Amino acid sequence: MTQLIWNGIFIGAFYALVALGYSMVYGIIKLLNFAHGDIYMLGAFGGFAMLTAFGGSVAGGSIVALLIVLVLSMLGTGMFGVVLERVAYRPVRTAPRLNALITAVGASFTIEYGTSLVAGPNPEVYPVQLSGSALHVLDAHINIQQIVLVGIAVALMIAMNLWVLRTRSGRAMRAISQDPKACLYMGVNVDGVISWAFFIGSALAGAAGVMAGAYFGTVNFLMGFIIGLKAFTAAVIGGIGNIPGAVLGGILLGLLESFGTAWLGGQWRDVFTFVVLILLLTVRPTGLLGERVTERV
């Protein structure tokens, strides 16, 4: 039982990091950014490229090298998210939501197959793969590297939450989510704040990509599709647009997958997870922490 809980928390931490980007963007401009999972993939490939360039210098210091690459990948994916918003989403922000949704799907395919052209279609082996001794806690075998990765993920989530709650940009972001026109009339740089939201959400996704590549050992140009779908599911479970809900949804989804695999087998894991999602949304359509809102007309 303890092993299943730990496995769920571990994979759920990755889902939560990516789900935060979905919730931030949707909470502000009501956009489902389906290209967000592919930014996770770009983070993984960015880490792969940098670690490959470092070559043998990472030997014996893989955690230190990984932390450096993690920060650089976060900056790179963050800037990519800003460019994506400026080029693809800002021109259709006032258009019907279906236009933006189609744009997001098109951006997703463009990123995936653009990466395939540059990096090749075959999976790549990560230059640094984390492994090490395990701690024995009750009936669970917990790898030290897993603890480090979960610790990094939790630290990033806490830092992001503090930024949203306690900084001027964070307050502006929350205000825009309520009434963007009023914020514009009050002198708030709405475009700049939205760009910040894309930067932070994309940076978190890039961090998750680097950590996943280093732990699981391989990367490929389609790896963002599945985790993007799972992270979106996590955001919906928690209440899309709600930042604590994204974290809660990610952890809960990880636990559902862990127990579903143990009870039904790996081939039924996703079926079990999405059946639970359907049942949950039947009872709680807005998600666990979502609130019903009345749209202004």
CA dihedral sign, ordered 97, 98, 103, 109: positive
pLDDT band per the 50, 70, 90 thresholds, residue 73:
very high
Residue 87's pLDDT is what? 93
The residue-averaged pLDDT of 236-261 equals 86
Q: Quote the pLDDT of residue 230.
A: 87
pLDDT at 41: 95
Domain membership flag for residue 127 = yes
Q: Is residue 277 part of a domain?
A: no
In a domain, 282, yes or no: no
Asked if residue 110 belongs to a domain, the reply is: yes
**Is residue 58, in this structure, part of any structural domain at all?**
yes
- Domain assignment present for residue 174? The answer is yes
CB 23 within 8 A of CB 242: yes
Chain segment 210-233, per-residue pLDDT in tens: 988 888 888 999 999 888 888 888
Phi first, then psi, for residue 242 (nearest 5°) are -105, 120
Angle between helices 243-264 and 2-29 (to 10 degrees): 140
Stretch 93-112: mean pLDDT: 90
Give residue 1's pLDDT band: very low, low, confident or very high (50, 70, 90).
confident
Number of structural domains (the chain) is 1
Q: Which residues contact 244 (CB under 8 A, 6 or more apart)?
A: 161, 238, 289
Of the ranges 71-80, 117-126, 184-193, the best mean pLDDT one: 71-80
The yes-or-no verdict on residue 297 having pLDDT over 50 is no
> For residues 297 and 292, which has the higher predicted lDDT (pLDDT)?
292
The answer to whether residue 173 scores a pLDDT higher than 90 is: no
In a domain, 10, yes or no: no
Alpha helices in 30-61 (DSSP H): 36-54
DSSP helix, strand, coil percent of the chain (3-state; round to 5) = 75, 5, 20
Domain with 87 in it: 21-225
Query: Is residue 3 included in any domain, yes or no?
Result: no
